[in-house]
C-alpha cells in the first residue's frame, strides 16, 4: 500500500465562497463543512489548502441544501491530484513548447522548484494537462460560422505525424480554409476504426463538409467513406507533387553525391596546411586556405526537401560562387600588404609605387626592379590627335613610351 506523503508543518490556507448571500432567497450564507482539505504542491512550495463549504441560513429556502464553495480554491488544484494547476501547466509547457523529454522535465522541476515527484509521475501529470486542454476547447461551430457563411461549408484535412520508434502516432483533423484544428489524438495504430472515431465528433457538429483532403492512404479512405459517405475525397496536392518530383529528386541527389566525391581531397589540403603544433595558423596564406576549406564543407552540407527544394542545384551554384571568388583572388595576385605576394616590396612605398603595374613591369614614371623601385625618365605623350574620346579603350593607342 502506498503511504501518504509527509511534508511536515505546512502553511494553512483556507478559502471561503466568493458570494456571501444565497442567490435564490438572498439570505446570508453560513459555514457548513470543508468540501476538501489536502496538501498541494505548488511551484512556490507545498501548502495545506482547505475549501470551506457554506449553505443558506434560511430554513425555508428551497435550495437550502446547496453547497457553495470557493472558485479560487478550485482553480488552484486538480481534483484527485496533490499537485497544483501551475505544476501541471508548467509540465505541459516544457513538453509541447520547449519539446523536453520526460527525464528533462523531471530534472528541471527537481533542480529549480521545490516540487517533489518521480519521473514516472511526470507522464501522469502530462496526461492530466492534455485532458484539461481537451476540456477547454470551445464549440467549433462558433469559430467556423464565418467560414460556412462565406464558402457554404468546410473542407477537412486529415494527416498523421510519423512518430519516433516506440511512440504513438499523432493524427490531426484540420479545417483547410480557416486553419482551425478540429481534433487531434495519439493513436496506437492508424486503422480505419480508429480514424473513424477521430472523425465522428466533427460529423456530430452538423457542419456541412464540402470535401476531404489527405494522402489517400487506404485506412483514411475507408474511414472517410464510413463517416462522410458521398463527400468528395481528394489527394493532397503536396503529396501529388512529391510523387511527381521523385525522378528529379533522385537525379539531384546523385549530383550532390558526385560533388561530394570531387571534394574528398579537402582533408588532405587541410592536413598539409594546418600545423600539428599550432591549432591556429600564424600566416595569412594558411588562414585563407583553411577558410576556403571550411566554406566548401559548409556548402556540401545542404539538405533538400521535396518537392522542389533541390540541394544539388544549390550546391553547384554555391560552388560556382566560391570558384569565382578564388579566380578573382588569383587574378589580383595578393595584396600589397602581404609578404610573398607579387606587388609586395620591403622598401617604403609611395603613392606612385602603390599603383598597379601596367604595360609589363612599367608604371607611370617608374620601372620596377628586384631591389625596389627606381625613378626613370617620365613618360611623354604625343600631341593630341583627332580620334576617339579620351578615356575610351581606343584612346590608349595614342600613348607611346619614349624610345631609349
pLDDT of residue 3: 64
Whether pTM exceeds 0.85 = no
pLDDT of residue 184: 82
* 303-318 tens-digit pLDDT: 777 777 788 778 888 8
Grid coordinates belonging to 308:
522542389
In a 13 Å sphere around the CA of 111, the CA atoms on its Cβ side amount to 6
| C-alpha to C-alpha distance for 89 and 83, rounded to whole angstroms | 11
Q: Which candidate, 162, 155, 190, 196, places its Cα nearest to that of 176?
A: 155
pLDDT of residue 164: 65
- DSSP per residue over 31-49, as a string? EEEEEEEEEEEETTEEEEE
* 290-346 tens-digit pLDDT: 888 888 887 777 777 777 778 877 888 888 888 888 888 778 765 555 555 555 444
List the alpha helices (DSSP H) in 144-283: 145-151, 192-204, 218-227, 237-244, 246-262, 266-273
pLDDT of residue 69: 94
pLDDT of residue 226: 92
* 136-193 tens-digit pLDDT: 777 788 889 899 999 999 999 998 877 666 677 888 899 999 888 888 888 878 889 9
> If residue 186 lies in a helix (H) or strand (E), which one and from where to where?
strand 181-187
| C-alpha to C-alpha distance for 129 and 63, rounded to whole angstroms | 35
Question: What sign does the CA torsion over 81, 85, 87, 92 have?
Answer: positive
How many other C-beta atoms lie within 10 A of the C-beta of residue 307?
A: 18
Amino acid at each position: 500500500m502506498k503511504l501518504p506523503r509527509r511534508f511536515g508543518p505546512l502553511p494553512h490556507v483556507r478559502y471561503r465562497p466568493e458570494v456571501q448571500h444565497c442567490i435564490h432567497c438572498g439570505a446570508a450564507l453560513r459555514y457548513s463543512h470543508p468540501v476538501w482539505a489536502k496538501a498541494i504542491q505548488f511551484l512556490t512550495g507545498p501548502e495545506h489548502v482547505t475549501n470551506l463549504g457554506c449553505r443558506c441560513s434560511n430554513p425555508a429556502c428551497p435550495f437550502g441544501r446547496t453547497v457553495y464553495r470557493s472558485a479560487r480554491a478550485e482553480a488552484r488544484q486538480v481534483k484527485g491530484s496533490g499537485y497544483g494547476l501551475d505544476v501541471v501547466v508548467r509540465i505541459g509547457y516544457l513538453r509541447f513548447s520547449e519539446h523536453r523529454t520526460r527525464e528533462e522535465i523531471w530534472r528541471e522541476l527537481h533542480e529549480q522548484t521545490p516540487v517533489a515527484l518521480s519521473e514516472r509521475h511526470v507522464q501522469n501529470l502530462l496526461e492530466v494537462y492534455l485532458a484539461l486542454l481537451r476540456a477547454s476547447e470551445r464549440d467549433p461551430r462558433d469559430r467556423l460560422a464565418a467560414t460556412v457563411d462565406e464558402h457554404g461549408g468546410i473542407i477537412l484535412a486529415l494527416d498523421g505525424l510519423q512518430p519516433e520508434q516506440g511512440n504513438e502516432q499523432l493524427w490531426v483533423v484540420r479545417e483547410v480554409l480557416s486553419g482551425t484544428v478540429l481534433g487531434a489524438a495519439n493513436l496506437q495504430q492508424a486503422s480505419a476504426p480508429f480514424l473513424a472515431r477521430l472523425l465522428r465528433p466533427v460529423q456530430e457538429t452538423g457542419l456541412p463538409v464540402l470535401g476531404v483532403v489527405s494522402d489517400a492512404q487506404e485506412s483514411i479512405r475507408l474511414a472517410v467513406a464510413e463517416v462522410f459517405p458521398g463527400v468528395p475525397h481528394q489527394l493532397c496536392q503536396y503529396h501529388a507533387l512529391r510523387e511527381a518530383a521523385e525522378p528529379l529528386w533522385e537525379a539531384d541527389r546523385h549530383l550532390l553525391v558526385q560533388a561530394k566525391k570531387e571534394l574528398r581531397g579537402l582533408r588532405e589540403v587541410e592536413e598539409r596546411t594546418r600545423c600539428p603544433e599550432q591549432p591556429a595558423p600564424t600566416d595569412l596564406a594558411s588562414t585563407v586556405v583553411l577558410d576556403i576549406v571550411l566554406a566548401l564543407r559548409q556548402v556540401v552540407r545542404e539538405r533538400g526537401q521535396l518537392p522542389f527544394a533541390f540541394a544539388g542545384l544549390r550546391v553547384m551554384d554555391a560552388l560556382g560562387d566560391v570558384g569565382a571568388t578564388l579566380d578573382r583572388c588569383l587574378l589580383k595576385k595578393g595584396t600589397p600588404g602581404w609578404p610573398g605576394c607579387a606587388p609586395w616590396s620591403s622598401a617604403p612605398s609611395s603613392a606612385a609605387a602603390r599603383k598597379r603595374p601596367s604595360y609589363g613591369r612599367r608604371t607611370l614614371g617608374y620601372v620596377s626592379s628586384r631591389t625596389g623601385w627606381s625613378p626613370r625618365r617620365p613618360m611623354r605623350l604625343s600631341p593630341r590627335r583627332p580620334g576617339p574620346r579620351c578615356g575610351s579603350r581606343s584612346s590608349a593607342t595614342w600613348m607611346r613610351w619614349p624610345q631609349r
